[in-house]
Amino acid sequence: MIVDGKVTGNVEFVAALIQKTVGGDLFAIKTVQTYPGGYNQLLEATQNEQRVNARPRLATHISDLQSYDTIFLGYPIWWYDLPQPLYTFLDEYNFAGKTIIPFTVHVGSRLFSTVEKITQLEPRANVIQDGLAISRNSVARSERDVIPWLRRIGVTR
C-alpha cells in the first residue's frame, strides 16, 4: 500500500484504521532476522520456516502487557496459516484473562483456521471467533468492512 507517498503494509494499514476508530496503541511484531525482499526468496524462506515449525526471534517486545485488556492481533496469512513469528509472539506472553481479536489480510484464504489455532494456543484468553478477513485487493476501501465489524463484535457503537 502507498499512503501519502509512503509504503505501508496491508495489515499495518488495517491496524491503523482500527486504532483510528477505537484508540489504543499500535505495536509491530518485528523479527530479528529480516525476511528476503525478493518475492521468490520470501516464499521459500517462509515455507521452510513453516516446515520446521520455526520460532523466529522477535526484535520487539511488549514491556507492559498487564496494562492492556484487549489486543487486536493482525497478521497476513502465510501458507494458509499464521506467519511463524506469530507463534513466537503467542508463546512469549501470557494472555490469560485478556481478549484477543484476530484480523487478517489475505488473497483468498480468508482467516483459514488461524482463529482456531490462536484459541488452542491461548485457552485462557477470550479469543473473539468473529475475526475480520480483508482481501488484499480491498484494503484501500476496507473501512466499510472494518467499522461494521467493530460494531458487530461490540467494541464500538
Ligand X SMILES: Cc1cc2nc3c(=O)[nH]c(=O)nc-3n(C[C@H](O)[C@H](O)[C@H](O)COP(=O)(O)O)c2cc1C
Using CB under 6 A as the criterion, which residues of the chain lie in contact with ligand X when the complex forms?
9-12, 42-43, 46, 76-80, 105-109, 136
Q: Do 119 and 127 meet the contact criterion of CB atoms below 8 Å apart?
A: yes
Residue 55 vs 136, nearer CB to ligand X: 136
Give the residue carrying C-alpha cell 518475492.
39
Alpha helical stretches, state H, the chain: 10-22, 39-51, 84-92, 114-121, 143-152
- For the CB of residue 99, give the shortest distance to ligand X in the complex, in Å: 22
Residue 7, H or E segment: strand 6-7
- For the CB of residue 79, give the shortest distance to ligand X in the complex, in Å: 5
Residue 98 vs 117, nearer CB to ligand X: 117
Give the residue carrying C-alpha cell 499512503.
3
Give the residue carrying C-alpha cell 491461548.
122
Cα–Cα distance for residue pair 66/4, rounded to 1 Å: 35
Residue 106 vs 117, nearer CB to ligand X: 106
Residue 87 vs 98, nearer CB to ligand X: 87
- For the CB of residue 35, give the shortest distance to ligand X in the complex, in Å: 8
Choose among 13, 15, 9: nearest CA to 27.
15
Single-letter residue type at 136:
R
- For the CB of residue 145, give the shortest distance to ligand X in the complex, in Å: 14
- For the CB of residue 69, give the shortest distance to ligand X in the complex, in Å: 25
Residue count (the chain) = 157
Residue 71 vs 125, nearer CB to ligand X: 71
